């Protein structure tokens, strides 16, 4: 199949998908076409879309998806008359703590926030922004939490490493003279 | 039921302390504990006066502040060579760590805001095209029994500070149905963390069926049950 045809097919696949499509998924649909050709066609398509003013192709949660450009948001909001509900401070804090420390148990989250977090966790589970990974192998077998693919999609992240490291934030806090701080890095995890 | 009002966007004792530290423009590395503790108690009293829900954590922090204050007042023992740890240091560490995550939360909020301006194809409405059988109450009970059986080994007896009411579960189920037109029966119970919650969830489902706000279908005999929202 020629490159042009592959490109057109990928475009319609992206156009009709409400989920990001990864190279693997595209390869499944385009069975028989080698990954290299798919990748090249995808690259060309992305370049084409960069020329467009109203649509763009972004990489989110390990896949590609067509998005509208932010400048046109107000028009779309007019059409759909939707006002999205934002997450609460508590939810965002909890998400930040989980994202940078996963897997993590509720008690650890609560010791950082200093308040009860079970309600917030319940909401985040409901919204599928966090998920239960497994139980920690300690007394009491508490649940371990981690972020989901929906979390990445919600915040427009390619993967968890796209989040700025904690180190960058610590540098903003006025340092005490001569204090050597141990810096926490976002952990590599299996999602 | 206490009316839960958020005072000035602080939700916990750490928030309140950070707020006071910023407001008084105090050096976090040298917090004047007596001053801050005094103000902190003032806010607690104000919250009580306004009949706001002063959660336990606020009071725990109050006593922590008192403890730190009293340790600072104790005269240093003579003859001790090594540096005595500043009684404030643990609190300061905690405040700094918390502040770090608050900053990160702000970053997430900014991303959230930016993402709201990006739209994509919404999930398609999938009409129930397959022929289904009307499931009976006994099918529901059987399905629930299976859920209980499956979940039993996972659920460890844990002390639940957080209880969910029937009304809340009803709302939750309806919310989920707003996003996805149908949910599978077993998915409803996936995130239940205790037996009590499983039961409340099932009762909520029965309530919604009684109110004719949801209906259920069983595509395969004795198979998975799907829950649908009834059009308003």
Mean pLDDT of the A14-36 span: 91
Contact A114 B14 (CB under 8 A): yes
Q: Which two tokens stand for residue B156?
A: 């460890």
The closest of B219, B227, B209, B169 to B193, measured between CA atoms, is B169
Please count the residues of chain A: 191
User: Cis link prior to A103 (omega < 30° from 0)?
Assistant: yes
Mean pLDDT of chain B: 79
The closest of A167, A87, A18 to B104, measured between CA atoms, is A167
* Distance, CA of A46 to CA of A61 (rounded, Å): 17
Model confidence pLDDT, tens digit, residues B59-115: 899 999 999 998 888 776 655 555 677 888 899 999 999 999 999 999 999 999 999
How many separate helices (H) and strands (E) can be counted in chain B?
Answer: 8, 4
Model confidence pLDDT, tens digit, residues B115-136: 999 998 887 765 555 555 556 7
| pLDDT for A188 | 42
* Distance, CA of B113 to CA of B43 (rounded, Å): 32
| pLDDT for A155 | 95
Contact A86 B164 (CB under 8 A): no
* Distance, CA of A126 to CA of B103 (rounded, Å): 25
* Of residues A18, A92, A174, nearest to B108 (C-beta): A92
| pLDDT for A105 | 94
B196 interaction partners in chain A (CB closer than 8 Å): none
A137 interaction partners in chain B (CB closer than 8 Å): none
Contact between B97 and B89 under an 8 Å Cβ cutoff? The reply is no
Contact B112 A86 (CB under 8 A): yes
All domains of chain B in start order, with CATH: 13-74+84-116 (no CATH), 133-229 (1.10.10.580)
| pLDDT for B150 | 78
In this prediction, residue A108 has a pLDDT band, given cuts at 50, 70 and 90, of: very high
| pLDDT for B166 | 84
Contact B117 A70 (CB under 8 A): yes
Q: Of all residues in chain B, what percent carry a pLDDT higher than 70?
A: 78
| pLDDT for B107 | 92
* Of residues A15, A18, A115, nearest to B123 (C-beta): A18
Residue A120 distance to chain B (closest CA, Å): 11
Q: Which residues contact B61 (CB under 8 A, 6 or more apart)?
A: A114, B13, B14, B16, B17, B40
Contact A115 B94 (CB under 8 A): no
Residue B57 distance to chain A (closest CA, Å): 6
Model confidence pLDDT, tens digit, residues A139-156: 888 899 999 999 999 999
| pLDDT for B193 | 75
Contact A95 B108 (CB under 8 A): yes
| pLDDT for B128 | 55
- Interface confidence (ipTM) of the complex: 0.78
Residue A181 has pLDDT above 50, yes or no: no
Q: Is the dihedral of CA B27, B42, B19, B25 positive or negative?
A: negative
Kindly report the pTM of this predicted structure: 0.66
Model confidence pLDDT, tens digit, residues A32-84: 888 899 999 999 999 999 999 999 999 999 899 999 999 999 899 888 877 77
Beta bridge partners, A146, equal A131
| Number of Cβ pairs < 8 A linking chain A and chain B | 128
DSSP state of A160: G
* Distance, CA of B109 to CA of B142 (rounded, Å): 44
Cα–Cα separations (whole angstroms), residue B130 to B124, B126, B127, B155, B220: 17, 11, 9, 35, 10
All domains of chain A in start order, with CATH: 3-79 (1.10.10.10), 89-165 (1.10.10.10)
In degrees and rounded to multiples of 5, residue A21 shows phi and psi of -110, 125
């Amino acid at each position: 199949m020629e490159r042009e045809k592959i490109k057109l097919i990928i475009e319609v696949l992206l156009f009709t998908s409400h989920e990001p499509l990864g190279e693997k998924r595209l390869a499944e649909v385009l069975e028989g076409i080698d990954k290299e050709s798919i990748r090249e066609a995808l690259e060309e398509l992305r370049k084409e879309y960069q020329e467009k003013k109203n649509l763009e192709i972004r990489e989110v949660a390990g896949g590609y998806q067509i998005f509208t450009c932010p400048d046109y948001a107000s028009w779309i909001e007019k059409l759909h008359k939707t006002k999205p509900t934002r997450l609460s401070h508590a939810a965002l804090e909890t998400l930040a703590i989980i994202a940078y420390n996963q897997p993590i148990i509720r008690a650890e989250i609560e010791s950082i926030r200093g308040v009860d977090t079970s309600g917030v966790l319940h909401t985040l589970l409901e919204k599928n922004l966090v998920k239960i990974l497994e139980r920690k192998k300690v007394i009491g077998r508490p649940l371990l939490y981690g972020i989901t693919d929906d979390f990445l999609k919600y915040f427009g992240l390619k993967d968890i490493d796209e989040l700025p490291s904690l180190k960058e934030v610590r540098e903003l806090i006025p340092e005490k003279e001569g204090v050597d701080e141990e810096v926490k890095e976002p952990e590599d995890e299996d999602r | 039921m206490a009316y839960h009002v958020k005072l000035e966007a602080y939700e916990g004792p750490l928030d309140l302390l950070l707020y006071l530290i910023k407001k008084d423009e105090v050096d976090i590395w040298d917090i004047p504990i007596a001053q801050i503790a005094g103000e902190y108690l003032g806010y607690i009293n104000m919250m009580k006066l306004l009949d706001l829900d002063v959660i336990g954590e606020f009071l725990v922090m109050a006593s922590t502040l008192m403890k730190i204050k009293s340790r600072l007042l104790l005269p240093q023992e003579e003859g001790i060579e090594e540096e005595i740890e500043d009684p404030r240091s643990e609190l300061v560490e905690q405040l700094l760590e918390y502040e770090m995550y608050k900053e990160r939360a702000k970053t997430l909020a900014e991303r959230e805001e930016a993402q709201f301006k990006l739209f994509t194809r919404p999930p398609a409405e999938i009409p129930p095209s397959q022929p289904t059988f009307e499931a009976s109450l006994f099918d529901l009970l059987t399905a629930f029994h299976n859920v209980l059986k499956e979940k039993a080994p996972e659920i460890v007896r844990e002390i639940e500070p957080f209880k969910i009411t029937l009304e809340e579960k009803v709302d939750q189920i309806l919310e989920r149905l707003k996003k996805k037109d149908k949910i599978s029966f077993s998915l409803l119970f996936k995130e239940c963390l205790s037996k009590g919650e499983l039961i409340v969830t099932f009762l909520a489902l029965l309530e919604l069926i009684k109110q004719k706000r949801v209906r259920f279908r069983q595509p395969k005999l004795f198979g998975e049950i799907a829950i649908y929202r009834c059009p308003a």
